[in-house]
């Protein structure tokens, strides 16, 4: 790399064709533009981080856009313990982990049946499932809410004794809503797996389950990883379902519980900023670690469309 660097100095470049030289300022302009945009994009997040580290008294005196006098992690401690964040994180996990696993399991089997077995009506099924995923939740939320209050559950499953205000209810609605997208993506993927693989197994007398579980699913690992990453983020970030289908504050997932950090009459925005950072942290970590899977998940539906 360092060996190539000197070519950038003007005297050596004299013999180059003019096209190259004209391109240089353009490149700089491009970098300047993209750099500015990138900076602008990170700024709000950086600002929230900065605000969360400063006492309210200080920012209310000086405004958010000022040099710090004190930096403290107090708000994180406060959000963590006073707002009882660990409990809400746990609630989120109770909902999101089964949610992602069940969605992927059901969707992969359905996609397998649609893409690999010539079941009758497969196209109609795929269209129904995909379209269901595209509906805004509000078009069905009122009857769903009513339905949830009417379905009884034994008290060991839900202390509200109904689907309303239960973890199971939230898991179910996530599964139902995300299912269509996963079926769509996975059936597209499975269609690209060569038929010969299962054809050969068919001759060997392998049943449907074995062809799905042992032969097809292992080949779907990349798409499963991408969808798991994406679905985790989707379900983690959900705000609406919990807002409408949960009533006890102590069962809320963390994203919705963030609203509790707002006071009735007075909101300490720095505390809210610290809470926001803590809520954003898991998705940011997942995103940084599984960057490739995340992007693959978002573009999977797109490239083959």
Partner 1 sequence: MAAKTRRYSARDVTILVIGLGVAIIVNVGLIWGPTLASIGLSGTDWNGIKPMEWVGGRNYGDLVNDYPPFWSAIRNNVLWLGFLGLVATPFGLFCAVLLDRRLRLSRVYQSALYTPVVLSLAVVGFIAQLVYSSDYGVLNAVTGLTVDWLGDRSINIWVVMVAAAWRHVGYVMIIYLAGLKAVDPALKEAAAIDGANEAQAFFRVVFPTLRPVNVIVLVITVIEALRAFDIVYAINKGRNGLELLSVLVTENIVGEASRIGFGSAIAVILLVITLGFIVTYLSQLFREER
Q: Minimal distance in Å, beta carbon 223 to partner 1? A: 15
Our CB check for partner 1 shows the closer of 91 and 255 to be: 255
Helix axes 269-289, 221-237, angle to 10 degrees: 180
Cβ neighbors of 219 (< 8 A, separation 6 or more) are: 193, 197
Q: Minimal distance in Å, beta carbon 276 to partner 1? A: 5
Burial 224-240 (b: 16+ CB within 10 A, else e): bbbbbbbbbbbbbebee
* Cα angle for residues 102, 98, 198 (degrees, 5° grid): 30
Our CB check for partner 1 shows the closer of 15 and 19 to be: 19
Our CB check for partner 1 shows the closer of 15 and 89 to be: 89
Q: Minimal distance in Å, beta carbon 23 to partner 1? A: 11
Q: Given phi > 0 = left and psi -120 to 50 = alpha, else beta, which region is 205?
A: left
Cβ neighbors of 106 (< 8 A, separation 6 or more) are: 175, 179
**Phi, psi (5° rounding) for residue 207?**
-80, 175
Return d(Cα 54, Cα 70) in angstroms, integer.
Answer: 6
Our CB check for partner 1 shows the closer of 94 and 132 to be: 132
Our CB check for partner 1 shows the closer of 72 and 130 to be: 130
CA 7 to chain centroid: 44
Our CB check for partner 1 shows the closer of 73 and 131 to be: 131
Q: Given phi > 0 = left and psi -120 to 50 = alpha, else beta, which region is 121?
A: left
Q: Minimal distance in Å, beta carbon 2 to partner 1? A: 14
Q: Minimal distance in Å, beta carbon 240 to partner 1? A: 6
Our CB check for partner 1 shows the closer of 14 and 114 to be: 114
Distances (CA, A) of 55 to 66, 79, 193, 222, 278: 13, 13, 57, 45, 17
Q: Minimal distance in Å, beta carbon 52 to partner 1? A: 9
Q: Minimal distance in Å, beta carbon 81 to partner 1? A: 20
Our CB check for partner 1 shows the closer of 16 and 31 to be: 31
If you write DSSP's letter for every residue of 2-53 in order, what string do you get? TTTGGGGSHHHHTTS-HHHHHHHHHHHHHHHHHHHHHHHHHHHHHHHHHHHT
């Amino acid at each position: 790399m360092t060996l190539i660097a000197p070519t950038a100095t003007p005297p050596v470049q004299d013999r180059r064709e003019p096209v190259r030289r004209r391109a240089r300022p353009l490149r700089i302009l491009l970098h300047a533009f993209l750099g500015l945009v990138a900076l602008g994009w990170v700024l709000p997040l950086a600002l929230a981080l900065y605000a969360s580290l400063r006492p309210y008294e200080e920012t209310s005196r000086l405004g958010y856009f000022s040099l710090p006098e004190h930096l403290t992690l107090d708000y994180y401690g406060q959000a963590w313990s006073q707002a009882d964040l660990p409990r809400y994180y746990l609630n989120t996990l109770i909902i999101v982990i089964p949610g992602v696993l069940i969605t992927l399991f059901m969707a992969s089997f359905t996609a397998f049946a649609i893409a690999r077995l010539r079941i009758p009506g497969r196209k109609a099924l795929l269209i129904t499932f995909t379209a269901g995923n595209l509906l805004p939740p509000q078009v069905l939320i009122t009857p769903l809410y009513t339905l949830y209050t009417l379905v009884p559950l034994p008290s060991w499953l839900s202390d509200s004794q109904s689907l309303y205000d239960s973890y199971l209810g939230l898991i179910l609605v996530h599964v139902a809503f995300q299912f269509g997208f996963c079926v769509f993506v996975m059936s597209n993927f499975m269609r690209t797996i060569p038929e010969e693989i299962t054809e050969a197994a068919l001759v060997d007398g392998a049943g449907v389950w074995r062809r799905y579980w042992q032969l097809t699913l292992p080949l779907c690992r990349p798409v499963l990883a991408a969808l798991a990453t994406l679905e985790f983020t989707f379900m983690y970030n959900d705000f609406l379902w919990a807002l409408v289908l949960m009533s006890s504050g102590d069962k809320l997932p963390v994203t919705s519980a963030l609203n509790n950090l707002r006071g009735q009459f007075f909101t300490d925005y720095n505390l809210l900023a610290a809470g926001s950072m803590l809520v954003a942290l898991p998705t940011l970590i997942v995103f940084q670690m599984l960057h490739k899977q995340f992007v693959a998940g978002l573009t999977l539906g797109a490239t083959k469309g």
